[in-house]
Amino acid sequence: MNGFKTLQDKAISFDRANVDTDQIIPKQFLKRIEKTGFGKYLFYDWRYQSDGNPNQDFELNMEENQGASILIANENFGCGSSREHAPWALMDYGFNVIIAPSFADIFHQNCLKNGLLPIKLPHDQVNYLLDKGKKQPYQLKVDLENQKITDEKGFSTEFSIDPYWKTMLVNGWDEIEITLQLDDKIAEYEKAIV
Amino acid sequence: MGKSIIEKIWDQHIVHQEEGKPDLLYIDLHLVHEVTSPQAFSGLRMKNRKVRRPDRTFATMDHNIPTDNRHVINDKVALNQMTTLEKNCQEFNIPLAGIDSPDQGIVHVIGPELGLTQPGMTIVCGDSHTSTHGAFGSIAFGIGTSEVEHVLATQSLWRAKPKTLKIDIKGEMKKGVSSKDIILYILANYGFDFGTGHVIEYSGEAIRKMSMEERMTICNMSIEGGARAGLISPDETTYNYLKGRKYAPKGEAFEEAVQKWRELASDGDAVYDRIITIDANDVAPMVSWGTNPAMTSKVNERIPRLEECETEIERKSLERALTYMGLEEGQRIEDIHIQHVFIGSCTNSRLEDLRQAAEVVKGRHVHPNVRALVVPGSQQVKQQAEFEGIDQVFKDAGFEWRESGCSMCLSMNNDVVPSGEHCASTSNRNFEGRQGSGARTHLVSPMMAAAAAIHGHIVDARTLLAAETVS
Ligand code: SF4
């Protein structure tokens, strides 16, 4: 995984609450055994009509929303199933950051493990961003090292992130590698429990 | 100050602690299924890593598996996923309850049934309903595929200590009310995210009187309230259930284990971050009418009206849900017409669930507008049900009797609800498209699903239990 330091890019609004992972990536696409290529199925049932044509009213299909890498969402984003295919699909589509007032636990964790940065901000700030993101062009700068989000209109805020995950993301470290360095501790624990 | 069972199990499993980091927690049991594991095994292979403890890992296939003829799998992508699991288990030496095994079934049904699930354990699986196993007094939670890979390689996980939430359930369940109604009632009253960041401990008189099956149903749906894990302190009911199970300790070792398990129960003076109290007497049969499990009401109530919503977000969600479900605000719940009935899933597909549904079905017939399916949770459940003649009760009434698997809970196989049609389902999620694109799901108990099958619309199952069945 590459390290994440700063990102300045297009941010779009996705103003829906309780978006569940069944919507992010519907089950018919979970049968694949690869990690890549899920982007074209992202939000499939919302993105396409039953005849397979794109649903023009859907946020992601709008002309002005193309090419964004920052998604501004609403509360309880990513609830439901533990499928990691959800962050895989979001990243494969092109998103690197999701901003919302709250995230479901497992989804939040799954994002961090894959280098997709979930940022929790207070409701009023998210409402401001949702509003701005509706009128393109709109860009945000996300600075993970300094934990800051800014736009060109004078908005600026700090966000909090677990220091452990910040280090992991900034350096792009592999968690398993780190744990394997503690192998003797695990072995010691195992000895004690038998 | 005393400790809760959550803290006791947590503290017993810390492998490593360091300032500024989550705890490194040892994982006693890792359950694996075909959908969330292939990428984890590829990850191991790419880095030349091994499975640290194949003996603490157990696999089955359940999500994709056909429930009519399990040897005819037309979906090549699904077939590939299942053969991939077989190959991975072989290569990494992991025990597998495969397609022909008498132990096969939904991963959260077979773990307890085989005695793999035991009190005091930490249990994980790449599936959010792993919380089911908490019914035995274990900390059990769902993980993503990266963590599946992490546990395979290291038998441990990094986790920050969760907050604790106690839900005390007083009183006693009335006849016709089940533990499914209790958890739906909790969701209806406290919402879909009240448990985020917490592990729930369910306690109280009502819980103590419940069977293991009933306890599993409650713990199963903890995740629907945002809590990754829900558990119940073990007691005699737990030990009696486990005694003699395939992988449970035997003879003297079992008695020793019980001695240890007895110490797990929460101390009387344990402190929780939050406590909720409910009264089982207030619970009636529940029915979900919307597109998340908290959008649920009592069977004799009405769907809420838009004007009753307190916030704009709530209003928008209600509006969206009603459009998707094809229902009207203020509509009577009992006026919801049903075209499909699904009795199954890791929430409600155990023997006791089938018995309860059969009690309602016995001597009656499925409504002509309804297609009704019973999918036992495991091969063992299926066999036992057939031994008791429960399958015959369902078949005589016009139900389809199937092989075990997840089936119409998420419709990854051929068991799909067509777009626009309503299904009374004993499963756990009513998200848009969950049972098929455009499908409309109503979450209910097995008794309520059976009653809906007979009448073709939602009906209070208690009225069917009260009436003497004409045979
Ligand atoms: S029965 Fe449904 S909820 Fe349970 S494991 Fe299978 S798909 Fe998931």
CB within 8 A of B420, min separation 6: which ones? B326, B438, B440
Q: In terms of DSSP H, where are the helices of chain A?
A: 21-24, 44-47, 85-93, 105-114, 123-133, 163-171, 175-180, 183-193
User: Which DSSP symbol is given to B271?
Assistant: -
CA of B177 to the centre of ligand 1 (A): 23
Q: Is B248 touching ligand 1 by the criterion CB < 6 Å?
A: no
Q: How many CB atoms lie within 10 A of CB A55?
A: 15
- Shortest CB distance from A84 goes to which of B52, B145, B196? B145
Q: Is B409 touching ligand 1 by the criterion CB < 6 Å?
A: yes
Q: Which CATH architecture has domain A6-193?
A: Alpha-Beta Barrel (3.20)
Q: What is the ipTM of this complex?
A: 0.92
Over pLDDT 70: what percentage of chain A?
100
Tokens found for residue B387? 């031994």
Tokens found for residue A14? 């996705």
Q: Where are chain A's structural domains?
A: 6-193
Using CB atoms within 10 Å of the CB of residue B88, give its burial: 0 to 12 exposed, 13 to 18 middle, 19+ buried. buried
Domains defined for chain B, CATH in brackets: 5-276 (3.30.499.10), 286-467 (3.30.499.10)
Q: Is B127 touching ligand 1 by the criterion CB < 6 Å?
A: yes
Whether A123 and chain B come into contact, CB under 8 Å, resolves to no
Q: How many CB atoms lie within 10 A of CB B274?
A: 13
Which H or E element spans position B266?
none
Q: β-strands A6-14, A139-143: how paired? A: antiparallel
CA distance B239 to B262: 10
8 A C-beta contact, residue B371 and residue B338:
no
For the cut 60, the answer to whether the pLDDT of residue B471 exceeds it is: no
The strand ranges marked E within B267-338 are: 274-279, 286-288, 296-298
* Mean pLDDT within B182-210: 97
Q: Return left, alpha or beta for B330; rule: phi > 0 is left, psi -120 to 50 is alpha, else beta.
A: left
* Mean pLDDT within B191-207: 96
Question: How confident is residue B470, by pLDDT bands cut at 50, 70 and 90?
Answer: very low
pLDDT in tens, B204-236: 999 999 999 999 999 999 999 999 999 999 999
Question: How confident is residue B1, by pLDDT bands cut at 50, 70 and 90?
Answer: confident
pLDDT in tens, A18-76: 999 999 999 999 999 999 999 999 999 999 998 999 999 999 999 999 999 999 999 99
User: Which DSSP symbol is given to B105?
Assistant: B
Mutate: best of A36, A51, A81, A88, partner B, most B CBs <10 A: A81
Look at residue B467 in the predicted model and tell me its pLDDT: 58
Q: Is the Cα torsion angle B60, B63, B68, B70 positive or negative in sign?
A: negative
Helix H, strand E, coil C: the string for A8-60 is: EEEEEEECCCCCEHHHHCCHHHCCCCCCCCCHHHCCHHHHECCCCCECCCCHH
Mutate: best of B41, B199, B223, partner A, most A CBs <10 A: B223
* Mean pLDDT within A98-116: 95
* Mean pLDDT within B383-391: 98
Q: Taking CB atoms and an 8 Å cutoff, what residues of chain B touch A176?
A: 47, 49, 149-150, 153-154
pLDDT in tens, A164-179: 999 999 999 989 999 9
CA of B216 to the centre of ligand 1 (A): 13
Whether A28 sits inside 8 A of B412 (CB atoms) is: yes
